[in-house]
Amino acid sequence: MPTYKAPVDDVKFLLEDVFGIERYNNLPGFADASPDIVEAILSEAAKFCQEVLFPLNRVGDHEGCKRGPDGSVTTPKGFKDAYRQLVEGGWIGISAPTEFGGQGLPVLLTEAVNEFLCSANMAFAMYSGLTQGAIAALYAHGTPEQKATYLPKMIEGRWTGTMNLTEPHCGTDLGLLRTKAVPQADGSYKITGTKIFISAGEHDLSDNIIHLVISRIAGAPEGTKGISLFVVPKFLVNADGSLGARNALVCGSLEEKMGIHGNSTCVMNYDGATGWLMGEANRGLSAMFTMMNEARLGVGVQGLALSEVAYQNAAAYAKERLQGRALSGAKFPDKSADPIIVHPDVRRTLMTIRSFNEAARALVMWTALYSDIAHHSEDEKQRRDADDQMGLLTPVIKGVLTDQGFANTVMAQQMFGGHGYIAEHGMEQFVRDARIAMMYEGANGIQALDLVGRKLPKDGGRAVMAFFNEVQAFINEKKSDATMKPYVEPLNVALGHLQQATMWFMQNALGKPDNAGAGAMDYMHLFGLVALGYMWCRMIAAAGVKLKAGANGSAERMNSKLVTGRFFMERMLPETAAQLARIQAGAESTMALPPEAF
Amino acid sequence: MPTYKAPVDDVKFLLEDVFGIERYNNLPGFADASPDIVEAILSEAAKFCQEVLFPLNRVGDHEGCKRGPDGSVTTPKGFKDAYRQLVEGGWIGISAPTEFGGQGLPVLLTEAVNEFLCSANMAFAMYSGLTQGAIAALYAHGTPEQKATYLPKMIEGRWTGTMNLTEPHCGTDLGLLRTKAVPQADGSYKITGTKIFISAGEHDLSDNIIHLVISRIAGAPEGTKGISLFVVPKFLVNADGSLGARNALVCGSLEEKMGIHGNSTCVMNYDGATGWLMGEANRGLSAMFTMMNEARLGVGVQGLALSEVAYQNAAAYAKERLQGRALSGAKFPDKSADPIIVHPDVRRTLMTIRSFNEAARALVMWTALYSDIAHHSEDEKQRRDADDQMGLLTPVIKGVLTDQGFANTVMAQQMFGGHGYIAEHGMEQFVRDARIAMMYEGANGIQALDLVGRKLPKDGGRAVMAFFNEVQAFINEKKSDATMKPYVEPLNVALGHLQQATMWFMQNALGKPDNAGAGAMDYMHLFGLVALGYMWCRMIAAAGVKLKAGANGSAERMNSKLVTGRFFMERMLPETAAQLARIQAGAESTMALPPEAF
């Protein structure tokens, strides 16, 4: 039977010891996030995820969602009751604005809880995850009336949200979209078109579904400059807030897909559905990016979450499965064989995943902290700098955490041999579920281009220079400390590779952008390794402080950090040299063949 | 709709231009493999695979196999008729001994055809693939009576074969097996026990199923030294060759698994089933390894085969899907967008897969040629040397071609974005099917240990020294040739890394075997890159000769080789430096944590 235990202690270590959130008590919500409140939230979330959601994970995969002839969608057995508990627990609105009923706590906490939710049941967690994205977009771009109408119910969770971008012929290139919006006399619009791959597009969990739909207003310019964003509820809302008529939209079919069967992936048909403009006309794409950026961070968390739950199950199996003997001689001569955790290749696998997970969790927390600062600091420069880092790190988190998260589920599955391939142990579901995160919310190739083509050059490279300076300053500060040396020295080498790669782009990609495109994916992963390596150094420094102070019962965990961080430096960081070599190879052999040769 | 075209021209280039099989006309079967016979076999196989098997691939995945209450198993619609055509075409016995009805052609051709079969329909191809393995084991270890009884019908394909090793509590560590064999007065044995993960264990394609089962004779020693191999037919065979009574064995259930749904993966219950000893008592494991080694080469081919069909579909999609514009400016301004093949990251993906596939196919052909020489040469030293190389390369082919083959299916799927995640395009099936190849016939971690722990030190390192010498001699011969220089120089660097890694093991792993275990996986992949890089150099040299000679209408293909080989050198080989660094990091941080810390 698959198993899951939420990493509450690790999150607390990050919040309290590594990032010291009490230093941010001047930000709204942070003072409320006292250690006991944090403890209560995390342990309650852990309990809900472990006891309610995780047992439904296999059920959801096995049953999937079912569409009725009327276009209604039934979620798997148990999802409805679990969703009711999610709403009652107030889990959707932890960080939502208090003025609309949210708890206003730091985004840090939402991301921590979202990791637990996705580890326990990713398909289920997507229903609330998309709602959180829609809340963010409505809060940023909605009119006061729209906010008042939709936000309280969505923050409570009684209504859910979706984002409708993709059409059959266009995904990445939204400028090609064909969905039309025709203005009506009353200020509303009639929306007509077909959207595909709409997660949570129709289901039986909530009373209403608030679709955010991009569409072209009749007569608007072609391309991305003629795209507007609309709010299109499944049920129209009366002036008193009660539900009115059914809107002219329907789920046309459900996709047959590789995984996340518990989430309804819908073809949505809008047939003159009533919608209202959100934000300015023809500026819908930038408004949608508010939601996309939230969502991209959330998708990165999915990569981490599945890597974590896969790791836990692989570790449990490695300690329990008896097979063969240790290379250095039997460790349990009284048993018929040793547990496979004695084998170095099994250890290598576990350490690879673990050393990634712990650093990835830190990177998510760090970025979420930037999000809180960017939204709430009273200092304009601080807000700007935090926003810079958030923008820089978001594609890295989305791309690297989902690529590596998926690879880790595959590695964890591998440890089970043939038993990993059958449904019983749950490992193959983790692989199938994790796979989507590399593709949706902008396929990872797009994340790499966003990083290299947009985020690097933005504002004269201000964000990336600030990142380099911060990492370099940390290295300089710690390099003479003997206990930190084995960590900061490899990081310094990796940072050097990243800086050389950045320089190479500056010198070779301006005149020939294909050189940037051909190296973008390697650059994103190189950036990821440096960022994760930096997180390890921050964690090692914090663990050192904690150990010196007596560690308060966490000495074993802190000592494990020292080993796991060393493994990361020795085994993960060497890849940066290969990434740099590939980047510097440029685009020539990549682009040389004519298309017809393929 | 998914598409597949067998790479007939590429196989012919390898056979004729790269490996010059006409030079081996002294070996039995090779003289019969004249260019026109080869052409006929490959093009007929291509036609059968493209037109009959490939259309059934999706059907097989969707329907799966069904078990009836009596333990019978029904294969998906269309499989039975396709199997009949396979038998009529004589495809199973291409390289089987002529004395039992085979065609006695080189193993080279069987491996080429098996690639086509697996690309078209891996689940289907497993029925005949396992039969070929069982034929090899029976031919090598069966008594004359057993051979006469079983081989003609199996080579024809009217009867199929299986291998029964795994039990619920033991897979890798077969010494733990519990299946019992009790000797009977008539010389037969009664076999009792449960075997799991038995591919093609029960189905409706053939008249009889010949199970090769490992089991412990009552009173035999514990562990691997007490294992014997038995032939256990589903129907007992009368003296005249007709089918007799049903044997006491039954399919207890079918596994619910991630992919290869068209193949029946059975729990097999033996309840006093009648079997006959094959080979010596208590020496069953080494007999089984005859079959395993054949099977491992075949599984490596599966990795290549799925990488190839995934590549072809990704390339077709890249040329057809319109989305966005080239970084260097619109290439098709008259269309609504450019096809995505203009994007460097899409090209990088296609070139990565392609540069692997072409070299992997060469490596399979090269190893199959060694197999032919090892089995048929009249020169004892030549046989021994060929056997050395086959033994050395088999774990590399199994481990590297399936790891990278799977990774390639994932990369190819990625190019489709969300469309890759749904069943319609077939990409997610390639991923699910390819996944098993990394796990069965010895999980890839076991292949790495086999390479490092067994094949490297064997006979004082004779095999690996011969491999190094051959590659080094080729480099030395070509390095002053200006056209070869860009290829052999990077290969020389990679070979140096491999030699350093080998030396490091010699110096650091004898006293501390964990150092070998912790580096084994990287070593296997490092070895793979050197072997594939060597294959590229051989292909480039052959392409150069062909281009100089006028190329006979293949100039475009040969020029593509020059580019694709360069891509491999620039983009794939740099990884060897990182692999060496990880190997040299040793086992310390990998093994430092106590088991309870996981």
Q: Return per-residue pLDDT of chain A as tens, 598 residues.
A: 899 999 999 999 999 999 999 999 999 999 999 999 999 999 999 999 999 999 999 999 999 999 999 999 999 999 999 999 999 999 999 999 999 999 999 999 999 999 999 999 999 999 999 999 999 999 999 999 999 999 999 999 999 999 999 999 998 899 999 999 999 999 999 999 999 999 999 999 999 999 999 999 999 999 999 999 999 999 999 999 999 999 999 999 999 999 999 999 999 999 999 999 999 999 998 888 877 887 899 999 999 999 999 999 999 999 999 999 998 899 999 999 999 999 999 999 999 999 999 999 999 999 999 999 999 999 999 999 999 999 999 999 999 999 999 999 999 999 999 999 999 999 999 999 999 999 999 999 999 999 999 999 999 999 999 999 999 999 999 999 999 999 999 999 999 999 999 999 999 998 999 999 999 999 999 999 999 999 999 999 999 999 999 977 899 999 999 999 999 999 999 999 999 999 999 999 999 999 999 9
Residues A220 and A132 in one domain: no
Least Cα distance to A133 among A69, A199, A77, A81 occurs for: A199
In this structure, what CATH number is given to the domain that contains residue A35?
1.10.540.10
At which of A101, A119, A144 does a domain end? A144
- The chain B residue lying nearest A435, using CA atoms, is B421
Question: Which residues in A lie closer than 8 A to residue B406 (C-beta atoms)?
Answer: 410
The band of B171, judged by pLDDT with boundaries at 50, 70 and 90, is: confident
Residue ranges making up the domain that contains A18? 8-144
Residues A137 and A181 in one domain: no
> What pTM was estimated for this model as a whole?
0.98
Compute φ and ψ for A174, nearest 5 degrees.
Answer: -70, -15
Reading the block at residue A92, the tokens are: 């959707």
Beta carbons of A327 and B517 less than 8 Å apart: yes
Question: Which residues in B lie closer than 8 A to residue A561 (C-beta atoms)?
Answer: none
Least Cα distance to B391 among B487, B463, B457 occurs for: B463
Closest Cα in chain A, distance from residue B164 (Å): 14
Q: How many contacts does A have with B, using Cβ atoms within 8 A?
A: 261
Q: Is residue B22 part of a domain?
A: yes
DSSP annotation string for A473-536:
HHHHHHTT-TTTHHHHHHHHHHHHHHHHHHHHHHHHTSS-HHHHHHHHHHHHHHHHHHHHHHHH
Residues B133 and B190 in one domain: no
What's the Rg (C-alpha) of chain B?
Answer: 24
- The chain A residue lying nearest B61, using CA atoms, is A258
Residues A583 and A524 in one domain: yes
Beta carbons of A339 and B421 less than 8 Å apart: no
pLDDT tens sequence across B267-286: 999 999 999 999 999 999 88
Compute φ and ψ for B10, nearest 5 degrees.
Answer: -70, -40
Beta carbons of A444 and B420 less than 8 Å apart: no
What are the angstrom distances between the C-alpha of B523 and each of B357, B517, B584?
20, 10, 10
The band of B200, judged by pLDDT with boundaries at 50, 70 and 90, is: very high
Question: Which residues in A lie closer than 8 A to residue B414 (C-beta atoms)?
Answer: 438-439, 443-445
- The chain B residue lying nearest A319, using CA atoms, is B595
- B563 closest CB neighbour out of A414, A420, A589: A589
Least Cα distance to B85 among B128, B118, B24 occurs for: B128
Compute φ and ψ for B580, nearest 5 degrees.
Answer: -60, -45
Q: Please enumerate in sequence order all residues whose Cβ is within 8 A of that of A151, keeping only pairs 6 or more positions apart, or say none.
A: A96, A97, A100, A101, A135, A138, A139, A142
Question: Which residues in A lie closer than 8 A to residue B319 (C-beta atoms)?
Answer: 595, 598
- The chain A residue lying nearest B255, using CA atoms, is A422
Question: Which residues in B lie closer than 8 A to residue A58 (C-beta atoms)?
Answer: none
What's the Rg (C-alpha) of chain A?
Answer: 24
Cα gap B262→A301, rounded to integer Å: 35
Cα gap B509→B92, rounded to integer Å: 43
Least Cα distance to A329 among A321, A318, A337 occurs for: A337
Letter string b/e over residues A417-441, b meaning 16 or more CB atoms within 10 A of that residue's CB: bbbbbbebbbbbbbbbbbbbbbbbb
Residue-averaged pLDDT of chain B? 96
Least Cα distance to A236 among A191, A289, A291, A295 occurs for: A191
Compute φ and ψ for A6, nearest 5 degrees.
Answer: -65, 135
Residue B172, pLDDT score: 87
What are the angstrom distances between the C-alpha of A342 and each of A321, B375, B594?
11, 39, 10
Reading the block at residue B238, the tokens are: 């009368």
Reading the block at residue B51, the tokens are: 């037109």
Please count the structural domains in chain B.
3
Residue A294, pLDDT score: 78
Residue B100, pLDDT score: 98
Cα gap B357→B307, rounded to integer Å: 7
ipTM: 0.97
Reading the block at residue B498, the tokens are: 């491999």
Beta carbons of B255 and A410 less than 8 Å apart: no
Residue A551, pLDDT score: 73
Residues A188 and A134 in one domain: no
Asked if residue B569 lies in contact with residue B45, where contact means CB atoms within 8 angstroms, the answer is no
Beta carbons of A439 and B445 less than 8 Å apart: no
Cα gap B112→A10, rounded to integer Å: 52
A202, A308, A441, A570: the catalytic one is A441
Q: Is residue B538 part of a domain?
A: yes
Asked if residue B322 lies in contact with residue B335, where contact means CB atoms within 8 angstroms, the answer is yes
Letter string b/e over residues A295-309, b meaning 16 or more CB atoms within 10 A of that residue's CB: bbbbbbbbbbbbbbb
Q: Is residue A314 part of a domain?
A: no
Residues A107 and A53 in one domain: yes
Reading the block at residue A346, the tokens are: 């099994």
Residue B287, pLDDT score: 85
Closest Cα in chain A, distance from residue B341 (Å): 7
Residues A135 and A185 in one domain: no
Tokens 């795209």 correspond to A227
Residues B17 and B136 in one domain: yes
Compute φ and ψ for A366, nearest 5 degrees.
Answer: -60, -45
Active site residue B441: yes
- A514 closest CB neighbour out of B327, B410, B421: B327
- Per residue, the 3-state secondary structure of B431-479, as one string, reads HHHHHHCCCCCCCHHHHHHHHHHHHCCHHHHHHHHHHHHHHHHHHHHHC
At which of A248, A283, A318 does a domain end? A283
Closest Cα in chain B, distance from residue A164 (Å): 14
Q: Is residue A134 classed as helix, strand or coil in its secondary structure?
A: helix
Tokens 């990880």 correspond to B582
Q: Is residue B470 part of a domain?
A: yes
Q: What is the DSSP letter of A75?
A: P
Residues A117 and A66 in one domain: yes
Residue B291, pLDDT score: 76
Cα gap B305→B116, rounded to integer Å: 7
CA quadruple A483, A487, A488, A492: dihedral sign: positive
Beta carbons of B172 and A324 less than 8 Å apart: yes
Closest Cα in chain A, distance from residue B34 (Å): 29
Cα gap B113→B103, rounded to integer Å: 14
Q: Is residue B514 part of a domain?
A: yes
CB atoms within 10 A of CB B296: 23
Reading the block at residue B19, the tokens are: 């490996």
Cα gap A49→A85, rounded to integer Å: 11
Cα gap B539→B359, rounded to integer Å: 8
At which of A259, A283, A307 does a domain end? A283
State how far Cα B85 lies from the chain centre: 23
pLDDT tens sequence across B499-535: 999 999 999 998 999 999 999 999 999 999 999 999 9
Reading the block at residue A393, the tokens are: 């790190």
Residue A98, pLDDT score: 96
Residues A558 and A460 in one domain: yes
Q: Is residue B179 part of a domain?
A: yes
Asked if residue B179 lies in contact with residue B214, where contact means CB atoms within 8 angstroms, the answer is yes
Cα gap B96→B103, rounded to integer Å: 6
Residue A172, pLDDT score: 87
Question: Which residues in B lie closer than 8 A to residue A523 (C-beta atoms)?
Answer: none
Q: Which residues pair with A265 in a beta bridge?
A: A199
What are the angstrom distances between the C-alpha of B416 and each of A171, B321, B430, B536?
10, 9, 13, 29
Asked if residue A53 lies in contact with residue A117, where contact means CB atoms within 8 angstroms, the answer is yes
Q: Is residue A28 part of a domain?
A: yes
Beta carbons of A256 and B423 less than 8 Å apart: yes
Q: Which residues pair with B66 in a beta bridge?
A: B74
Q: Which residues pair with B167 in a beta bridge?
A: B170
Q: Which of B174, B331, B439, B489 to mutate to test the interface with A (most CBs of A within 10 A)?
A: B439
Cα gap B195→B467, rounded to integer Å: 38
Residues A218 and A99 in one domain: no
Statement: residue B3 has pLDDT above 80: yes
pLDDT tens sequence across B46-72: 999 999 999 999 999 999 999 999 999
Closest Cα in chain B, distance from residue A351 (Å): 7
Asked if residue B200 lies in contact with residue B263, where contact means CB atoms within 8 angstroms, the answer is yes
Beta carbons of A173 and B431 less than 8 Å apart: no
Cα gap A416→B410, rounded to integer Å: 20
Number of H helices, E strands in chain B: 17, 11
Regarding beta strands B265-278 and B159-164, do their DSSP bridges make them parallel or antiparallel, or are they unpaired?
A: unpaired
In this structure, what CATH number is given to the domain that contains residue B265?
2.40.110.20
Residue B272, pLDDT score: 98
Cα gap B267→B254, rounded to integer Å: 6
What are the angstrom distances between the C-alpha of A97 and each of A100, A136, A155, A328, A465?
6, 10, 9, 58, 33
Q: Is residue A170 classed as helix, strand or coil in its secondary structure?
A: strand
Q: Is residue A431 part of a domain?
A: no
- B345 closest CB neighbour out of A339, A350, A521: A521
B441, B489, B570, B588: the catalytic one is B441
What are the angstrom distances between the C-alpha of B593 and each of A6, A325, A565, B150, B545?
21, 18, 12, 53, 56
Asked if residue A24 lies in contact with residue A109, where contact means CB atoms within 8 angstroms, the answer is no
Residues A573 and A463 in one domain: yes
Question: Which residues in A lie closer than 8 A to residue B518 (C-beta atoms)?
Answer: 344-345, 347-348
Asked if residue B413 lies in contact with residue B428, where contact means CB atoms within 8 angstroms, the answer is yes
